[in-house]
A and B are shown apart, each in its own frame.
Chain A
Amino acid sequence: DAGITQSPRHKVTETGTPVTLRCHQTENHRYMYWYRQDPGHGLRLIHYSYGVKDTDKGEVSDGYSVSRSKTEDFLLTLESATSSQTSVYFCAISSGQGANQPQHFGDGTRLSIL
């Protein structure tokens, strides 16, 4: 299995509080991704990174920010959490981008915003 660790695995917090999720990889892969998975919507890309300090927005980036200060860590921050951000969040990594590149996923963070 690809060395991807997401933390925390579960979190419950209140509306309006800041939340940071961490993704740590030991594969030295260049590309890292944050997705959210919701019933009826499937997996949707929030943000991704194509190198240290290089990030770009995905399909559902509003309300989220990311940072990547070193290759192995990709942080997802909800500046002021809302109930609509209750979801399961997955981090993924890939060694390259393009048609044939697979992505390897972590086991997810289940986030509940009350």
Chain B
Amino acid sequence: TQLLEQSPQFLSIQEGENLTVYCNSSSVFSSLQWYRQEPGEGPVLLVTVVTGGEVKKLKRLTFQFGDARKDSSLHITAAQPGDTGLYLCAGYSTSNSNSGYALNFGKGTSLLVTP
């Protein structure tokens, strides 16, 4: 079961354009994390949003957590070729085990920014 749905799946834009990617769920999450993954490497954490309605900025990237804590968005202003990569959202849900939690990932948005 895919708890987190990301859209769009693919996005190809030119340098300087703005874009927004979405992460949606029917479940409530106590927090959501955003990662970026470049080819041949593992995902790297960008930000964690915790409070409903929270907005966090990381240079040209703006992350928002929905008021109901079921969705999140990532907005990039004036995209650059260096922003190219796979953007993943992830959230914790309670696993079937009594031992801890499992981090659930969306399938990701693959972004290509061309000069």
**A residues contacting the other copy or chain, number (CB 8 A):** 30
Pair A106/B48 contact, Cβ less than 8 Å:
no
Beta-carbon contacts of A29-63 to B below 8 Å, as 1s and 0s? Answer: 00101000000111111001010001011110000
Nearest Cβ on chain B to A56's Cβ, whole angstroms: 5
A106 and B103 form a contact (CB under 8 A): no
* Min C-beta distance of B30 to chain A, whole Å: 4
- Whether A42 touches B40, Cβ cut-off 8 Å, given contacts A31-B100, A99-B31, A104-B45, is no
* Chain A residues within an 8 Å CB radius of B50: 99-100
Do residues A108 and B40 form an inter-chain contact, with CB atoms below 8 A? Answer: yes
Q: Which residue numbers of A lie inside 8 Å of B, CB to CB?
A: 4, 31, 33, 40-45, 48, 50, 54, 56-59, 90, 92, 97-108
Contact residues on B (Cβ < 8 Å of other chain), bracket: 20 to 34
With contact pairs A40-B107, A98-B92 given, residues A107 and B100 touching in the complex (Cβ less than 8 Å)? no
- Can you list the 3 inter-chain pairs with the closest CB atoms, starting with the nearest? A105-B42, A99-B30, A42-B107
Interface membership of B66, Cβ < 8 A: no
What's the Cα separation between A59 and B101 when bound, in Å? Answer: 12
Tell me which of A31, A56, A100, A107 contacts B48 (CB under 8 A): A100
The residue that B99 contacts in the complex, of A40, A54, A59, A99, with Cβ under 8 A, is A54
Nearest Cβ in chain A — how far from B65, in angstroms? 12
B78 contacts partner chain A, Cβ-Cβ < 8 Å: no
Known interface pairs A102-B45, A107-B40, A107-B41. Does A45 touch B88 (Cβ–Cβ under 8 Å)?
no
A48 touches B92 (CB 8 A): no
